[in-house]
Structures are given as structure tokens and as C-alpha cells.
Homo-oligomer: A and B are copies of this chain.
Amino acid sequence: MKTSERILQTSLQLFNEYGEPNITTNHIANEMDISPGNLYYHFRNKDEIVYLLFLQFEEQITAVLETPQSRNPTMDDMWLYLHLAFENIWQYRFLYRDLNNLLSRNKKLQSRFRRILDRKAQTAITICQGLVETGIMQATPDEIETLANNVTIIATYWLNFQSIRSKQEGADGHSFSLGVYHVMALVAPFLKENARQFLYKLGRDYLS
């Protein structure tokens, strides 16, 4: 693997584990057993590393949030989207942990991140409209818009909430499955009775 790629991987791991504000370029170089000079040969500063990691995250989450073009989305699609989106957020969780701090330091990141939130909300709207069209869901356009914002907030801040509320240090894979369940619970009450029961069953299977 190229040194620049190894720097990015090591940074991601350290940022996720200790929080980006607590990690310096010296920590990263130390962890890799390279000199700070070697690191600076590849990256101007820590912000450049953060930005490149963000671009990787952006590329992945954008791919995840593509809705299928040729047919209406199903409830299975919904689980899959959510699972993949949460998995992706988990992989780059340092971005979400200090989100407002990170964005206020970097306007370029801010506008790109805003576009990701817009896209998350838009994907939720598209899926809900599909469920309404296939008669599985009953909701007005206003209800769908508010629901889509709430879905976006829960998906964005779930890990932060969980890391404050749980007494153990940090969060783990199970806490992200619980996040998927909480998002589905926002959608559930708008589903027709059969679909709602099916959803709860999927949820119990998924969590166990």
C-alpha cells in the first residue's frame, strides 16, 4: 500500500478511536513509525487529511443513497439503505462526533456536508413516496417531508446520542443496529397494519 494511503487509514482509525480534535499529525506519524517530515511530504496539514477522508466518505454515502430508478422501492430496500448508511457513518464516525466544530472550521466541508444532509432527506422522501404509491404507506406530502427531516436527524446524531447515554465508553456495532431500528420506528406508524407488523418482525430479527 502507498504511504499516502497508509497515512489516511491510520488517521481514520485514530480519529475514530480518540476523536479528531485530540489527534495531531505527530500522533499519526508516531503510530506509523515514520518521521513527521515524511508525513508532511504527503499532506500539508491535518485539515488536508480530514478533507480527503471526508471525500472518501462522501463518495461512499452518495453511492449508498442512490435510489433504484427502474422500480418503486420496497421495505427490504429501506432496511438495506439504512443499514448501509449507518455502516458508512460508523466507518467515518469521527466526522459525526464533532460535526459542528469541524464544519465551523471549514466552510468547504460545510457546504458539501449540507448537500449530504439534503440528499439523505431527499432519499427518505423518494422511498416514502414509493411506499405510498404501492399502497403500503399512508401519509400526506407534509407528513412525508417532516418525517424525512426526522429520519435524517436520527440517522445523523444517533451515535452521538448513544455515546452520551450509554455508560460504557463509546458505541459498538450493536448500538448502530439499534439506530436503524429507531429510524424504522419513525416510519412504522404510517404503514398499513400488515406492513407495520412485518416491519416490527424484521426489526426483532435484525436486532437479535
Q: Are B117 and A186 in contact (CB under 8 A)?
A: no
Known contacts A114-B165, A153-B157, A161-B153; A146 and B181 CB within 8 A of each other: yes
- The secondary structure that dominates the A interface is helix
Find A157's partner among B98, B110, B160 (CB 8 Å cutoff): B160
**How many chain A residues touch B (Cβ–Cβ < 8 Å)?**
38
Q: How many copies does the complex hold?
A: 2
Residue A118 is within 8 A (CB to CB) of chain B in the complex? yes
Within 8 A of B (CB), among A124-146: 143, 146
Q: Are A164 and B100 touching (Cβ within 8 A)?
A: yes
Interface membership of A101, Cβ < 8 A? yes
B161 touches A152 (CB 8 A): yes
**When chains A and B are docked, how far (Å) is the Cα of A150 from the Cα of B149?**
12
Identify 7 new A-B residue pairs, CB closer than 8 A, beyond the known A98-B98, A98-B100, A157-B160: A99-B164, A103-B164, A143-B188, A146-B185, A149-B182, A157-B157, A157-B161
Seen from chain A, the residues whose Cβ lies within 8 Å of a Cβ on chain B are 19, 21, 97-101, 103-104, 110, 113-114, 117-118, 143, 146-147, 149-150, 152-154, 156-158, 160-161, 163-165, 167, 181-182, 185-186, 188-190
